[in-house]
Amino acid sequence: MNGQRLNDKVIVIVGGTSGLGRSAASACVAQGASVVVVGRNSEKCDAACNELGERCHSVTGDACLPETAIEAIRLAVNSFGDLHGLYHVAGGSGRSRGDGPLHEITDEGWRYTLSLNLDSMFYSNQAATNKLLELGHGGSILNMASVLAHSPSPRYFATHAYATTKAATIGLTKSAAAYYAKQDIRFNAIAPALVDTPLAARAMSDAKILDYVATKQPLDGGRVGVPQDLDDAVVFLLSDESRFVTGQVLNVDGGWSVSEGQYPSATRGKADS
């Protein structure tokens, strides 16, 4: 073995130009893969390719539109000769558009959050599945979920449309895993807790939330995650090492989903929305 876990694999990463996706793209290339990264910002797309070299190409586009994933997968096959995996990271919070607790969610907040997180995932998963079926070989499709899909934190993270989309991500992942197992197309999801990315800017600037997370994510001294904490799990689930794994949700959460978490005494009994 050459020590590269993704040697000669071709991977499309939707949302691969910043945060978790950008870190994963670097890890995949370091492990021997060729990647196509998708992002909204052309400068970030160019920066990713400049840093990662000739084994990285990019597509600038809106992941909520069906043609974006189709274009990225076409580019991957035309440029690198095949397709072996998809990592769907694109998505985000709808808090600024009206997401929140159920009784406060606006129509715009609901529609925006579902489109951002579910439409984008549906289109990328469908496009990758169609191409793998056409190519006649298996592959690995990995989706970005969240611990909030199954382990709520109501005081500081009450965005119920977002949680709904991440629970739906798990539902589609498991349903597709069952249906396409005979074609050796694997579907899995990765569920992080609080990770220091642009999406987490609100939480990262709030001392109360950071104090809470220190007890909710107690591993490694109690800290916020960093994108690199997820990279080995991503590589594993995209590689042949996980060839007998499908329909699974891997929490990479610092202990969030098994820890109670402690609120500062000054805020005990007060609900934040």
Q: Which of 162, 180, 212, 263 is catalytic?
A: 162
Contact 88, 77 (CB under 8 A): no
Distances from the Cα of 14 to the Cα of 20, 71, 105, 152, angstroms:
11, 11, 27, 26
Q: What is the DSSP letter of 248?
A: -
Q: What is the DSSP letter of 225?
A: B
Q: Which residues contact 95 (CB under 8 A, 6 or more apart)?
A: 109, 159, 162, 202
Helix, strand, coil % in the chain, rounded to nearest 5: 50, 15, 35
Question: Active site includes 179?
Answer: no
User: Reduced to 3 states, what is the DSSP secondary structure of residue 91?
Assistant: coil
Q: What is the DSSP letter of 14?
A: E
Contact 145, 168 (CB under 8 A): no
| Runs of H (alpha helix) within 3-58 | 19-30, 42-52
- Residue recorded with tokens 């073995």: 1
Residues labelled as active-site residues: 162
